[in-house]
Amino acid sequence: MAERQYIIDDFKTEDAWRMFRIMAEFVEGFETLSEVGHAVTIFGSARIKRGDELYKKTEQLARLLVKNGFSVITGGGPGVMEAANKGASDAGGKSIGLNIELPLEQKPNPYANINLNFRYFFCRKVMFVKYAMAYVIMPGGFGTLDEFFEAVTLIQTHKIKPFPVIMVGSTYWSGLINWMKGSLLKEKMISKEDLEIFQVLDDPEDILKTIKKFHDILY
């Protein structure tokens, strides 16, 4: 009986320390990012290689954003995230990487000039939403889809104020969008207005114009 109680107490102690680690991630995130200014978060695949057209397009977009007064936030890893951080850093802007500790794929890239490391996905997600005034969704996998659907869900349910959610790559995302229209909308799982929460663009200049228009209206 005493041994069982010891195990229970040990779990309680572990949970208490976990709570402090979570609080520490929030405090460090808020303190570090409170002065990043108007920022755009760019999501996308960690598996894209340097020299890939998507890498080049992401780098170009990040440079454009910085030259027009925006900071750039990414997940801090390789691929699309690296390209965005590189473009922002090369343009002389704030290049923020919010890295997550994972056993595979996710290693910090060298181009973020403001770095934070997270153990908990949910702490990191709060930072993405709180400090971004737009989301740019480049082609990616499950992690990219996770961030996309979380953003549109928060906007749909009025948990956050609407902001631009831009999917880049009409060809890449067409299957998903057609499924949303042909299944979710058709079966009345969502409303027609829900499909207006996001938009699909291909050209970095058009993406910049959309974000600037929103910024000018808001500020």
Tokens 């409303």 belong to residue:
191
Q: Is the pLDDT of residue 105 over 90?
A: no
Q: Which domains does the chain have, with CATH numbers?
A: 2-218 (3.40.50.450)
Report the pLDDT value the prediction gives residue 3, as an integer from 0 to 100: 46
For the whole model, what pTM was predicted? 0.90
**Are the C-beta atoms of residues 73 and 98 closer than 8 Å to each other?**
yes
- Torsion on CA atoms 122, 61, 192, 215, rounded to nearest 10: 80
By CB atoms closer than 10 A (0-12, 13-18, 19+), residue 146 is: middle
The confidence band for 15, taking pLDDT boundaries of 50, 70 and 90, is confident
Q: Which residue has the higher pLDDT, 176 or 14?
A: 176
The strand pairing partners of 96, in sequence order, are: 73, 114
Match 């969008």 to its residue by tokens: 177
Q: Give pLDDT, residue 7.
A: 37
Interval 74-101: pLDDT, tens: 999 999 999 999 999 999 999 999 999 8
The mean predicted confidence, pLDDT, of the chain is 92
The pLDDT value given to residue 5: 44
> Percentage of the chain with pLDDT > 90?
85
CA distances from 57 to 60, 139, 159 (A): 5, 11, 32
